[in-house]
Amino acid sequence: MDIAVLGAGSWGTAMAIHLNSMRHNVCIWTKDQEQLEEIQDTHYNKKYLDVRLPESIGITTDIEYALENKKIVVMAVPSHAVRSVVERISGVIDKESIIVNLAKGLETSSLKRMSQVIKEMIDNPVVVLSGPSHAEEVCKHIPTVCVISSDDINACEYVQDVMMDENFRLYINKDLIGVELGGSLKNIIALGAGISDGLGFGDNTKAALMTRGLAEITRLGVALGSDPLTFLGLTGMGDLIVTCTSMYSRNRRAGIKIGQGKSLNETLDEIGMVVEGVNTTKSAYKLSKMHNIEMPITCEIYSILFEGKDPREAVYSLMTRNKKHEMEDI
């Protein structure tokens, strides 16, 4: 199978390595000439992953060349770049190509999910891949299980056949809205888990954040048309666990720095890569207000990131809310 991977960050690189290991013909597109030369010369993409890329993986800065005769096009750019990249390919992508989107986020300006953004501009089938999947492990062929979703079940089944092997298992979930929201909103809670760690709190605090965080993710998801059971699966609880507990998680690492007293700008500069949860916090905060959904953790993280609230004051606000029954809002 001839496959294009658009984006040479951590996830794009890891996915290219995985697909290459399945003997697919893979071509990565990057807009960065220096990155292209580094990979061609050394077969490493050091900024993102410390793993050698096989010589059989192609790389180019010519996006039309990358797309030529590709049955599957993997969209591996950050969520804020999806619209601009799709605009670039809209006139050249084969109409039969299936787009597999890896970006987990919401568009800040429109509050749309990534599949909605893509479908605005092209009519190609769009399959969303989500779930607990650190690139640092996928590139080493460590057993990983994810979920794919689409409004085109035939495209989903095709992608499952092409991309799944003994180290990378894919389930199909027909709840496209829930799969996308679960993968996006969990990054907010991961920021909170990192802030908790940065403040020196323990396992009790993190368990509470994850559990109550999942509750508010589910509330917003149901309001937007999701199946609540989706959030108990790989794109909800599964992704939440891995993102809140691992140091591979940029969102958790960013939260730790903020909890230790660093500003958002200092934190993002030190991470040096996209922290999807930051923009997603802004989007989810707006959606919660639009739909009148109670999301106290999201609101406090928004206050920390964008209004300068002290993290300890945010924790105090959460802990001193009105008394409630655990299940009354579910």
Annotated binding site for sn-glycerol 3-phosphate: 104, 131, 133, 186, 239, 249-251
Task: Identify the H or E element spanning 277.
Answer: helix 276-290
- CA 38 to chain CA mean position, Å: 26
Annotated catalytic residue: which of 186, 206, 257, 282? 186
Dihedral of CA 79/80/83/85: which sign?
negative
Annotated binding site for NADPH: 10-11, 31, 48, 104, 135, 250, 274, 276
Q: Is 68 exposed, middle or buried (0-12, 13-18, 19+ CB in 10 A)?
A: middle
CA dist 189 → 96, 98, 243, 260 (Å): 37, 31, 9, 17
CA dist 290 → 110, 224, 283 (Å): 13, 11, 11
Q: What whole-number distance in Å separates Cα of residue 225 and Cα of residue 127?
A: 18
Q: What whole-number distance in Å separates Cα of residue 78 and Cα of residue 251?
A: 14
Strand, coil or helix: 113:
strand
132: amino acid identity, one letter: P
Task: Identify the H or E element spanning 182.
Answer: helix 176-198
Tokens of 194: 């990192």
Q: What whole-number distance in Å separates Cα of residue 261 and Cα of residue 208?
A: 22
Strand, coil or helix: 61:
coil
Kindly give, in sequence order, each residue whose CB lies less than 8 Å from that of residue 30, ignoring residues fewer than 6 positions away. 7, 8, 36, 39, 59, 60, 61
Catalytic-residue membership of 46: no
Q: What whole-number distance in Å separates Cα of residue 90 and Cα of residue 15?
A: 23
Annotated binding site: 10-11, 31, 48, 104, 131, 133, 135, 186, 239, 249-251, 274, 276
On whether the CB atoms of residues 312 and 325 are closer than 8 A, the answer is no
Q: Which of the residues are catalytic?
A: 186
